[in-house]
Structure 1
Amino acid sequence: MAEHTVTTTWKEKMAFETDNPLGHSAIIDTTEENGGDASGLAPKAMMLSSLAGCSGLDIVALLKKMRAEVEDFKMVVKGELTEEHPKYYHTVWVDYHFTGNDLKEDKIEKAVNLSVEKYCGVMEMFRKFAEVKIDIHFHKK
């Protein structure tokens, strides 16, 4: 069974440095109104980034296998938090944006659906606590 271990160390005020199994690190912080310096990434927003990164990695790999090239690809992920503590994302929107002159829309949709429904483990984790809404946008260059 695969395991991941990260080490997160308090730096100062509300800032922490966290590592990752690939050897990279990031700063986690909060806003000035919450005692931080806003010097890093916010923990809950990092979860949205993780969702996009996980799905994006799947999609890029699938599109390569399908020989469906795109000129540009981005994801916009928005999460709506509950009102009460502990605040968590109860609804998440993932908008996939693909840009190019000759987009193979059927293959792109298939790649997105495979990521969303089969491959992206972070997506599956989000489904345990949030409604996840997906939309695909095609942009001609």
Structure 2
Amino acid sequence: MSAKVQWIDGLKFVATSGSGHSVVLDGDGAKDAPSPMEMVLMAAASCSSVDVVSILQKAKQSVRTVEVLVDGQRADATPAVFTDIHLKFVVYGRDIAPSHVERAVKLSADKYCSVSIMLSKSVNVTHSFEIVNEAG
């Protein structure tokens, strides 16, 4: 796996993954694009989302969509690393079993999500979930 980051101007950069996909990052207060630290949060939420959706689909749950609300607390001193990250999964669908969602979130946190597991070596990473049952 590889990537390249190239300076655009100011404190803006374009990051290109080895697979050829690009994203702009802004190190100047996230005025024009996500900051690198915001990208870390988004990476953790995205990685975990892939796992949770996949596991729920395999469990034949009627999931319409999944959102992850991720919140990161940073140290007050430099470097302002994350000290705590919380991922809250909000699962929308019909007749979704809480036991399946709990299992999916736990498997992602403990076994599958490389980003979250890597971060948990130095950051307090916690998880919760909510189910929004939709009529239908």
Partner of 2:65: 72
Q: Secondary structure at the match of 1:7?
A: strand
**Number of residue-to-residue matches in the alignment:** 134
Deviation at 1:45, TM superposition (A): 0.7
Work out whether residues 3 and 15 of structure 2, in 8 Å CA contact, stay in contact via their aligned partners in 1: yes
Across the aligned residues of Structure 1 and Structure 2, the Cα RMSD in angstroms comes to 1.4
- What is the match of residue 108 of structure 1? 101
CA distance in 2, matches of 1:22, 1:106: 36
Cα deviation for residue 140 of structure 1 reads: 2.1
- 1:30-56 per-position Cα deviation (integer Å, ceiling 9, x unaligned): 34xx6xx72211100100000001011
1:13 aligns with 2:10: yes
What is the percent sequence identity of the aligned residues?
Answer: 25
Tell me, in whole angstroms, the C-alpha distance in 1 between the residues paired with 2:71 and 2:18. 26
Corresponding residue for 2:47? 54
1: distance between equivalents of 2:53 and 2:20? 22
Q: What SS class does the counterpart of residue 73 from structure 2 fall into?
A: strand
Deviates more, 1:57-66 or 1:39-48: 57-66
- The 5 A counterparts of 1:119-134 are 119-134=112-127
The alignment partner of 2:79 has SS state of coil
> Do the aligned partners of residues 63 and 21 (structure 1) sit closer, same or farther apart at CA in structure 2, a change above 3 Å counting?
farther
Q: Tell me by how many angstroms 1:67 deviates.
A: 1.1
The alignment's TM-score, normalised by the length of structure 2, stands at 0.92
Q: Structure 1 residue 22: deviation in Å?
A: 2.6
When normalised by structure 1's length, the TM-score is 0.89
- Could you tell me whether the CA contact under 8 Å between 1:54 and 1:120 is conserved in 2? yes
The equivalences for 1:36-55 within 5 A come to: 38-55=31-48
Counterparts of 1:76 and 1:57, CA distance in 2? 14
Larger strand proportion of the pair:
2
Give the unaligned 5+ runs of structure 2.
none
Which residue identity lines up with residue 67 of structure 1 in the other structure?
Answer: K
Structure 1 consecutive aligned stretches of length 4 or more whose deviation exceeds 2 Å:
none
* Partner Cα separation in structure 2 for residue 60 and residue 21 of structure 1: 25
